Each structure stands twice: as structure tokens, then as C-alpha cells.
């Protein structure tokens, strides 16, 4: 069978995966949800036709969005996770014993249901007793909290659909307000390569810079995302991602990882020249 799934990474660029089976297709109140099986990337979750994760490369995203802040903040107890209905971020977080509470806010219950059924490897820790799942709009949920979390992880879709609200000044503002005085917010920041993505990345970076005293961008290689090159935002009230990075403390936890290393931690904040320039343009 010669069935291909294609996704536009830019108006004139497509990324295609050969599909062996279409396992699930359904429309929730919010979006189109699909799961299909592919020879190269394993099972794939797509929302409104955009690839959210694949079994093959999800570890890169989930490790980088979780272990970077967890190795900087000395004592993360209360965590808020936005989106991430697939459970990948939660799975990484539950590996830390210091974490006492994980509040997961996902708009769409159907995403969690589908992932529990088709991606049990990712969703396996959603039933951990520390995890509390809230089906709500994240803006609505967060603006009720003040000084409540040590870490907020924003694992949203791209900024051109239902997740647009998670890339706004008001969103970053209420996250700031919901964090304790030494809290950290990490978000997926898109790709700097194609024009449309790059402009959105600049806009959101500018808004974070205007909200948090410390704001740095770090990178990872994620094959199924646009240009295979992805950015994360590290925004913080107190801790610097490199100066306050405690390598020994993290190593003493003996967590095994497939992508993240303490050397890569530092390296991921060293950015190519064109990207540095883009960030500087909006920082001044």
C-alpha cells in the first residue's frame, strides 16, 4: 500500500510519512484527532492535520522541555502543565520524587482518551496519584492562581490555531502571577527557520522578555517538526538556566535519558548567529 500523510511545514514545503494503518480518526469539540501507524516513526498523533508527536522522536521534546528546568530549580514541588494531553511531559516529571503535585490542564478530554488507548507508552503516568487532570481553558484556569507553582510547562500546539491564546502577553502575565517568587516557565517556542514560524517565535519571545526578568531560548533537533529544528523558551523570575544549573545535583538523581545530558544542557543555549540576531531584534 502506498499511502502517505503530508503536512505543510511552509506554504511551499511538505513533510511526508508513509502510513501503514490509520488507527483512529475522530472530531472532538475542539479539533480533528488522528492516530496512524508509520514504518519509520511508529505511531503518530496529529491534531487538525499537524503532527504533535511520533513514537520515534517524542523523547527529544519531552526530555528537553522537562529536564532543563528541573535541573536548574533546586526544589520543584508544584508543577502546572498546559496541554500535553498525550502524557509525555507528565511521564518525565513523575520520575522526580521531589515533585509533589502535577496539575495538567488540557482543553480537550478526547485527546487524553485517545492517547490512553493508542499511545499507552506516553500516557502511562497520567494515573500517578500526584497528577490532577483539569479539562479547562488554560487562561481561565491559571488566572485564578497566585504564587502557587514552582514550574509551569507550556506544551501547546502551534500559535495559529486553538492554542493562539498561549502565545500572548496576557497568558505569560498570568503565568508569571501564578509562579512563586523563584518560579520558572518553559514553553515550546516553535521553529526559527521558515518565515511564518520565525515571525511567530519573535512575537512570543518579545512578550516573554517583557514579562519575565530572565528569558533565554534553547534548541533541540526534532525530525518531525518544521525544519527538524525546534526551540524552547526558558523564562524565570530568579534562576539563570546556566549560572544556576546544578550539574552534580542532577547527576546524583541517576535518571537515564536518551537525549538530555548535562553537557547538552549548556550547549542547547548556544544558538546560531541568525537566530541570535532575530532574538536581539525583539529584546531591545
Judged by the rule CB under 8 A, the positions of this chain that interact with other proteins are 137, 139-140, 142-143, 162, 164-165, 168-171, 173-174, 177
User: Whole-number minimum distance, CB 169 to other proteins, in Å?
Assistant: 5
Identified catalytic residue from 34, 57, 103, 155: 155
User: Whole-number minimum distance, CB 99 to other proteins, in Å?
Assistant: 26
Residue among 112 and 174 whose Cβ is closer to other proteins: 174
User: Whole-number minimum distance, CB 139 to other proteins, in Å?
Assistant: 4
Residue among 128 and 164 whose Cβ is closer to other proteins: 164
Whole-number Cα distances in Å, 53 to 45, 155, 178, 179, 214: 5, 11, 28, 28, 29
User: Whole-number minimum distance, CB 173 to other proteins, in Å?
Assistant: 4
What b/e string do you get for 78-115 counting C-beta neighbours within 10 Å, with b at 16 or more?
bbbbbbbbbbbbbbbbbebeebeebbbbbbbebbbebb
Is residue 155 annotated as part of the catalytic site, yes or no? yes
Residue among 173 and 228 whose Cβ is closer to other proteins: 173
**What is the C-alpha separation between 280 and 5, in angstroms, rounded?**
37
Residues 6+ apart with CB under 8 A from 122: 53, 58, 86, 87, 88, 91, 115
Residue among 122 and 211 whose Cβ is closer to other proteins: 211
What b/e string do you get for 146-157 counting C-beta neighbours within 10 Å, with b at 16 or more?
eebbbbbbbbbb
Residues labelled catalytic: 155
Amino acid at each position: 500500500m502506498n499511502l502517505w500523510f503530508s503536512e505543510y511545514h511552509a506554504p511551499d514545503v511538505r513533510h511526508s510519512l508513509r502510513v501503514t494503518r490509520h488507527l483512529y480518526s475522530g472530531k472532538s469539540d475542539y479539533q480533528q484527532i488522528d492516530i496512524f501507524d508509520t514504518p519509520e516513526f511508529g505511531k503518530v498523533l496529529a491534531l487538525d492535520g499537524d503532527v504533535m508527536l511520533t513514537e520515534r522522536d517524542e523523547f527529544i521534546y519531552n526530555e528537553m522541555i522537562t529536564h532543563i528546568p528541573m535541573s536548574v530549580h533546586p526544589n520543584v514541588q508544584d508543577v502546572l502543565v498546559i496541554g500535553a494531553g498525550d502524557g509525555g511531559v507528565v511521564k518525565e516529571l513523575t520520575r522526580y520524587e521531589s515533585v509533589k503535585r502535577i496539575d495538567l490542564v488540557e482543553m480537550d478530554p478526547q485527546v487524553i482518551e485517545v492517547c490512553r488507548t493508542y499511545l499507552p507508552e506516553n500516557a502511562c503516568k497520567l494515573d500517578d496519584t500526584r497528577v490532577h487532570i483539569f479539562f479547562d481553558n488554560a487562561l481561565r484556569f491559571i488566572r485564578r492562581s497566585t504564587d502557587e507553582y514552582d514550574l509551569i510547562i507550556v506544551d501547546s500546539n502551534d500559535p495559529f490555531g486553538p492554542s493562539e491564546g498561549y502565545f500572548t502577553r496576557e497568558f505569560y502575565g498570568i503565568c508569571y502571577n501564578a509562579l512563586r517568587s523563584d518560579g520558572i516557565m518553559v514553553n515550546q517556542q516553535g521553529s526559527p527557520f521558515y518565515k511564518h514560524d520565525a515571525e511567530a517565535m519573535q512575537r512570543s519571545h518579545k512578550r516573554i522578555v517583557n514579562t519575565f526578568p530572565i528569558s533565554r531560548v534553547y534548541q533541540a533537533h526534532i525530525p518531525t517538526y518544521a525544519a527538524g529544528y525546534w526551540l524552547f523558551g526558558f523564562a524565570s523570575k530568579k534562576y539563570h538556566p546556566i549560572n544556576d544549573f546544578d550539574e552534580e545535583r542532577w547527576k546524583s538523581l541517576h535518571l537515564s535519558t536518551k537525549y538530555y545530558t548535562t553537557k547538552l544542557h549548556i550547549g542547547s543555549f548556544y544558538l546560531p548567529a541568525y537566530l541570535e540576531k532575530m532574538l536581539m531584534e525583539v529584546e531591545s
